[in-house]
Amino acid sequence: MSEELNHTSLQAKSPFELRVNLGQNVPESDVRTALVTGDMGFLHSFTTGSAVDGPGVRVVAWTAGCQFRCLYCHNPDTWNLANGIPVTLGQATAELRKYRQGLKVMSGGFTLSGGEPLMQDRFAVKLLAAAHAMGVHTALDTNGSLGDRLTDAELEQIDLVLLDIKSWDAERHRQVTGMDVGPVLNFARRLAGRKRPAWLRFVLVPGLTDDAENIAQIAKFAASLGNVERVDVLPFHQMGQFKWKELKLNYALSSVRPPAIEVIENACAQFRAEGLKAY
Ligand code: SF4
């Protein structure tokens, strides 16, 4: 394991801490084994006290690795698996166990986010199962495109899926994320078919995802599923911009401002018009 691991805490104040190269010294063969077995994972960090990543107060583990390249991503340091801290499943479980009682008392839970947690699907399954075995409510925050990596039985172990839908329009989705929307929508349909509780998350970016027709189509689709308990409209912000600069990545949205309150309200109203709870 890397020298930096000795100096970098698994705990972070927030996911906005820039973290790079913490797993770079793990041999390629060990990375491959980790991805197959799930006995080791790569985490950006653990954070506590989130009120926006599922019901109640959440402990969140942020995984490293993502195949999307969202133009507005506020954690591009999580794109690369090798940026994450290598942790054994036992270490991650022990970290979570520290909060078990508090989470139960506060009706909170554990959320696995990223990055894209299903880039490390075996680790994700094992860590969520460990949380479940502790009696802690579990949520998976995912872009949905790797949902096929989970079996139906594994889906049953996840109490809630926070599914990000970046855009309805296929071309716009590819522009925003670099990837196809089809697998995301298929995963949404599969969750619905299996009656798994889901919250939908939609990032509202002026000039990119905010056109009314795009939102109307997502709202209609979400309402048709029958398992979407709520929709979170997440206003675009610039808090991650510094990471793009530090990582020497080309950030295309530097001149985009956060959406006005009325624009956020209008988007929420479109979801509500389809009978969904939206915040
Ligand atoms: S899916 Fe999430 S972590 Fe991946 S690029 Fe998009 S915003 Fe970033």
Q: What is the pLDDT of residues 14-56, one digit of tens each?
A: 888 899 999 999 999 999 999 999 999 999 999 998 888 999 9
Averaged pLDDT of the chain: 95
- The whole model's pTM is what? 0.95
Q: Which atom of ligand 1 is nearest to the CA of 177?
A: 6
For ligand 1, whether the C-beta of 257 sits within 6 Å is: no
Q: What is the pLDDT of residues 57-95, one digit of tens each?
A: 999 999 999 999 999 999 999 999 999 999 999 999 999
The confidence score (pLDDT) of residue 5 equals 45
- Test site for ligand 1: of 75, 166, 247, most ligand atoms within 8 A of the Cβ: 75
Q: What are the distances in angstroms from CA 144 to CA 162, 182, 210, 248?
A: 9, 10, 21, 28
The confidence score (pLDDT) of residue 7 equals 59
For residue 62, which amino acid is it? W
* Rounded distance between C-alpha atoms, residue 119 and residue 14, angstroms: 21
Q: Which atom of ligand 1 is nearest to the CA of 164?
A: 1
Confidence band of 3 (pLDDT split at 50, 70, 90): very low
Q: What is the pLDDT of residues 173-188, one digit of tens each?
A: 999 999 999 999 999 9
Q: Which atom of ligand 1 is nearest to the CA of 69?
A: 5
Which residue, chain included where needed, has tokens 């197959």?
36
Q: Is the pLDDT of residue 4 over 90?
A: no
* Residue 101 neighbours by CB under 8 Å, 6+ apart: none
Residue with the smallest CA separation from ligand 1 atom 2 is 115
Least Cα distance to 120 among 85, 95, 73, 94 occurs for 85
